[in-house]
Amino acid sequence: MKTSINQKGFLIDGTKCIGCRGCQVACKQWNELPAEKTEFFGGPGYQNPAHLSSKTYTLIKYREVMKDGKLKGWVFHKDQCQHCLEPACVSACIVGALEKTASGPVVWEDKKCIGCRYCMLACPFNVPAFEWSSINPDIRKCTLCSDRIENGLEPSCAKACPTKAIIFGDRNSLIKIARNRLKSESAKYHQHIYGEEEAGGTCILNISSIPLEDFGYPKNLPKTAMASFTQPALRSIPGAVIGLGAALGLIAFIANMVKGDEKDSSGQGDRS
């Protein structure tokens, strides 16, 4: 699965993020995602919810900065799907429910999803989320607002950001911007562009005053695309498992047809 390196994506500059969560709200609104019950969970600062889920596609993470035993301030980071150039989740999906588009976003088709969760195991960033509370569960995650991109609009989170901590554009141009910032303000930034080479490269590029690993991102990822590891593993899956997947796919197809009929009959099938 070879893709063009110059795709659309984000440069997320953590030094410009003020933790307002405007991107979280915009993401919820555009994707019509329900609210989640939140609580202080013992994590850093005021981060809520605790992690990404099938109801939360983007999340502002908080890290408290301490000096001499006193709180100096906070560092923020926007967590979301990294939209890999060669996604492991796409190569791991046995029914083609996940797709890497030519413009950059990795999107999913819920009518194809059978809930096998191979994509969750394959993703090095632990992003795809399972609908644990649903009777007919699917996998869900950020799509980089591919529907907006297709209509010449920037993703909702980037549009909503008041400090331009999220820059949307061509990946090659974003790398140049990031390199220039790291060079011109070297004391301000940790000298690394996370996503430029990790896992073969991602469409989401991150720069920050602290390493992304401090926010829980994996360390020392190979520069080789993770899809090169998942494809051989899938070829070794017994035929019986594939057959079970096909059977589950049929069940999911029928269930989705019923669900679609219910929506049509209630008049809720269209987006408001």
Structure tokens at 149: 């991109």
Is 219 a member of any domain? Answer: yes
Span 46-95, pLDDT tens digits:
788 888 999 999 999 998 887 788 877 889 999 999 999 999 999 999 99
Beta-strand pair 8-13/204-207: parallel
Structure tokens at 126: 């632990």
What percent of the chain is predicted at pLDDT more than 70? 79
pLDDT (0 to 100) of residue 8: 96
Considering only CA atoms, which of 233, 203, 239 is closest in space to residue 92?
233
Considering only CA atoms, which of 77, 50, 49 is closest in space to residue 62?
77
Q: Which residues of 46-82 are buried (b: 16+ CB within 10 A; e: fewer)?
A: ebbbbebbbbbbbbbbbbeeeeeeeeeebbbbbbbbb
Say whether pLDDT at 177 is over 90: yes
The 3-state secondary structure of the chain, one letter per residue: CCCCCCCEEEEEEHHHCCCCCHHHHHHHHHHCCCCCCCCCCCCCCCCCCCCCECCECCEEEEEEEEECCEEEEEEEEEECCCCECCCHHHHHCCCCCEEECCCCCEEECCCCCCCCCHHHHHCCCCCCEECCCCCCCCEECCCCCHHHHHCCCCCHHHHHCCCCCEEEEEHHHHHHHHHHHHHHCCCCCCCCCECCCHHHCECEEEECCCCHHHHCCCCCCCCCCCHHHHHHHHHCCCHHHHHHHHHHHHHHHHHHHHHHHHHHHHCCCCCC
pTM reported for the whole predicted model: 0.82
For residue 171, give the CATH number of its domain. Answer: 3.30.70.20
Could you check whether the bond before residue 49 is cis, i.e. omega within 30 degrees of 0? yes
Number of compact structural domains in the chain: 1
Give the pLDDT band of residue 110 (cuts 50, 70, 90).
confident
Is 69 a member of any domain? Answer: no
Mean per-residue pLDDT of the chain: 85
- Per the model's pLDDT, the better-predicted residue between 211 and 257 turns out to be 211
Is 218 a member of any domain? Answer: yes
Is 192 a member of any domain? Answer: yes
Is 263 a member of any domain? Answer: no
Span 11-50, pLDDT tens digits:
999 999 999 999 999 999 999 999 988 877 665 567 888 8
pLDDT (0 to 100) of residue 193: 98
Is 39 a member of any domain? Answer: no
**Domain, as residue range, for 93:** 7-16+82-258
Is 22 a member of any domain? Answer: no
Is 204 a member of any domain? Answer: yes
Please report, as a single letter, which amino acid is at residue 197: E
Considering only CA atoms, which of 12, 18, 15 is closest in space to residue 209?
15
CB 88 within 8 A of CB 230: yes
